[in-house]
Structures are given as structure tokens and as C-alpha cells.
Amino acid sequence: LDFTGGTATGLSIARSMAECGRVRAYCAELGGNAPILVFSDTSVDDAVNGVAFAAFVASGQTCVSGKRILVQRGVFDEFREKFVAKARSLRLGDPMLPDTDVGPVISK
């Protein structure tokens, strides 16, 4: 499940579990640092395309944009090589043009 929010959202989730008597350990990424996991039993090409979409959609400026990529050792080298090539191939430009992959990113 993916929730948008901060500490209040995390407390609400914990409170809901407690109220129904089903408290479980959970990890909440509520600060906009969505992790992406790549396991060795996946298609590396599919993973590269999925991670690129998650990381660069809307120029990476969404609350669920992938910020951390955790890759299992068995596919790390292949994934890194292909992901770097994919990122380098993205075309920066005017988001209104059809050949633009990534629009401008604000700096202030």
C-alpha cells in the first residue's frame, strides 16, 4: 500500500491497526522517499524501464517518485549499466514537445 503524508499519516495507520486489534510491524515511507526494489529473479530490462519511469515521471517531482533504488547483488552490475544508459538517453526539453522525455526541474 502507498500512503501520502507524514508523521500524522503514520500515526493514523498505527492507530487503525491498534483499534482493530491487529498491530503489526510495518515500514512507512511517508516523507516522499519512495524506495524501488529490484530482485534478481526479474527481467532486468523490465526493471530498468519501470525504475526509469518511477524516477523520472513528472521530472521526478511527485510525492511517490522513486528516490532510492535497492538492487539485489546478483543483478546489480547489469542493472546499473543498463539504467545509466537509459538515464543518459533521456531527452531534456520543453514538456509540451512530443520528443521530450524530461521537462525542466526547478532549483529554487
Mean pLDDT of successive 10-residue segments in the chain (108 residues)?
Answer: 73 90 79 81 96 82 78 97 96 90 77
Q: How far apart are CA 25 and CA 106, in angstroms?
A: 37
pLDDT of residue 55: 85
Say what the pLDDT of residue 99 is: 93
Q: How far is CA 63 from CA 31, 37, 44, 88, in A?
A: 8, 17, 25, 23
Cα separations in angstroms, 40 against 29, 63, 86: 23, 27, 19
Active-site annotation, residues: 29, 63
- Model pLDDT, residue 63: 66
- Angle separating helix axes 44-56 and 73-89, nearest 10 degrees: 50
Q: Give the number of other CB atoms < 10 A from CB of residue 47.
A: 21
Residue 28's pLDDT is what? 74
In this prediction, residue 3 carries a pLDDT of 65
* Confidence at residue 52, expressed as pLDDT on a 0 to 100 scale: 92
Distances (CA, A) of 98 to 5, 52, 78: 33, 18, 30
